[in-house]
């Protein structure tokens, strides 16, 4: 895994993220204070931190322990972000933070790389 390299290169964002991906994602999520949002495949936590800045409680996970370590390093201790090392295809692991506790979910730039995505949808309210 190239987590360290990836985070060193674009951990602080790039034009693609800051201009094209994040603004419309924020508008679509419409993040009010008090939402609990699942950030699947969060990488080094850039967008998780942004949602927390907007007032959400965020449960973020990635299958890469190195990405999660980087996310924890980059996140202030008072931020409302909870990080987990989880494989998105493992229902038991994904459900461990609490089934159906999320108002919304986001997965930026990763869902197309996952071989199984059905488990993620079990986490959202019907």
Q: Does a structural domain hold residue 112? A: yes
Q: Does a structural domain hold residue 13? A: no
pLDDT, tens only, 85-119: 988 887 677 666 666 678 888 888 777 777 777 77
Give the CATH number of the domain where residue 78 resides: 3.40.50.150
**pLDDT at position 16, please?**
67
Q: Does a structural domain hold residue 1? A: no
* Number of folded domains that form the chain: 1
User: In terms of C-beta density within 10 A (0-12 exposed, 13-18 middle, 19 or more buried), how is residue 125 classed?
Assistant: exposed
In sequence order, what are the residues at sequence separation of 6 or more whose Cβ sits closer than 8 angstroms to the Cβ of residue 84? 59, 60, 61, 68, 93, 96, 97
Q: Does a structural domain hold residue 126? A: no
**pLDDT at position 49, please?**
94
Q: Identify the domain containing residue 52 by its residue range.
A: 31-121
Beta bridge partners of 34: none
Q: The tokens 């989880």 sit on which residue?
A: 86
Q: Does a structural domain hold residue 79? A: yes
Q: Does a structural domain hold residue 43? A: yes
Question: Which one is predicted more confidently, 34 or 97?
Answer: 34
pLDDT, tens only, 42-60: 989 999 999 999 999 999 9
Q: Does a structural domain hold residue 10? A: no
Q: Residue 19: which pLDDT band, with cuts at 50, 70 and 90?
A: confident
Q: Does a structural domain hold residue 41? A: yes
pTM for this model (two decimals): 0.81
């Amino acid at each position: 895994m190239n987590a360290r390299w990836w985070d060193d290169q674009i951990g602080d964002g790039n034009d693609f993220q800051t201009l094209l991906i994040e603004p419309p994602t924020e508008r679509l999520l419409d993040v009010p204070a008090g939402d609990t949002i699942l950030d699947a495949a969060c990488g080094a936590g850039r967008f998780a931190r942004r949602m927390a800045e907007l007032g959400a409680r965020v449960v973020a996970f990635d299958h890469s322990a190195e990405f999660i370590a980087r996310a924890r390093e980059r996140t202030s201790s008072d931020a409302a972000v909870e990080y987990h090392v989880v494989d998105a295809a493992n229902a038991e692991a994904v459900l461990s933070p609490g089934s159906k506790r999320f108002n919304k979910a986001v997965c930026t730039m990763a869902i197309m790389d996952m071989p199984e995505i059905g488990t993620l949808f079990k986490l959202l309210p019907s």
